[in-house]
Amino acid sequence: MDEIAFGRSIRALRIRKRLTQAALAARAGVSRGVVARIEQGHAASVTIARLEGIAAALGARVLVKLLWQGEGIERLIDGRHAAVVEEVVRILRAAGWTVATEVSFNEFGERGSIDIFAFHPETRSLLVVEVKTVIGDAQELQSTLDRKVRLAPKVARVRGWPATSVSKLLIIVDTRANRQRIEALAATFRVAFPRRTWAVRRWLATPSAAEPLHGLWFLRIGRQAVITQRVRTPAAPATHSGRAGS
C-alpha cells in the first residue's frame, strides 16, 4: 500500500464531503486520532476493518490486493491461465510468430511481466498479449496493458526484435460471467479493443504492421482454436453405380 497516497485520498474525500476529522471519525466509529494517522500517511498502523469503515463513511471502498511478480499471483492460483497461454502460444507459433511467455521487465521502476510476448519477423509486428480468466477492475486492467504496450519496444530491443509496430490483445476465458462483465462496460471496451474474436484470429494469421491490432478474444477452454484460411473445396462429381443398359 502507498500509505501517503492513501492518506491524501482519504483527506481529499473528507474535504469534498465537507467533514472535519472528528465528524468523519464519528461516522466511522473510530477516534479522531485514527483518521489523523491515516491522513498523515500511517494507514499501515490501522486495521483493515477500520480502513474499510472510514472509506464506507466517505462512500468509498478499500480494495486489498496481493501482488507477486506483477500480476503473477493470478497465474499461480488459476490453472486455467496456464491452459489458455499454452493454447495461444501453439496458435501463434503455427502462424509464424516467435513467442516468449512470462517476460518480466523493469524500466525505471515500472515492473511487471507480459503474459505472452510475440514477434512476427516477416512483418516486424510486435504483439503484447494479456490473459485474463476473471475480469476484475476494468480500468486497472486497461491501464496495466497500456503500460506494457508502451514499454514493449524497449523490451523487444533487448531480445533483438526489430519491431516497427506494437499491437495489443486481451484474451478472456469465455464464460457467462466474463461476457456479462464486458457487456456491462461495452462502450469502454469497444473503444479500447475494437476488433473481436474472428477479426483477431484473421489478423494473427496475416498480421499487418501498417494496421496494428487492438483486439479482444473470448477463448473457450477445451475447444481447439486453430487459425486457418477458409478454402472452398469444390464438390466431388456425382457418381452413379449400376450395370450398363439397366
How far CA 172 is from CA of 1, 187, 218, 220, in Å, comes to: 28, 17, 5, 9
Three-state secondary-structure class, residue 217: strand
- Per-residue model confidence as pLDDT tens digits over 47-73: 888 898 999 999 888 877 666 655 555
Q: Which CATH class is domain 72-219?
A: alpha beta
Asked if residue 100 lies in contact with residue 117, where contact means CB atoms within 8 angstroms, the answer is yes
CATH 1.10.260.40 assigned to 3-57:
yes
- Per-residue model confidence as pLDDT tens digits over 81-116: 888 999 999 999 999 999 999 999 888 778 889 999
pTM of the model: 0.62
User: What residue segments make up the domains of the chain, in order of their start?
Assistant: 3-57, 72-219
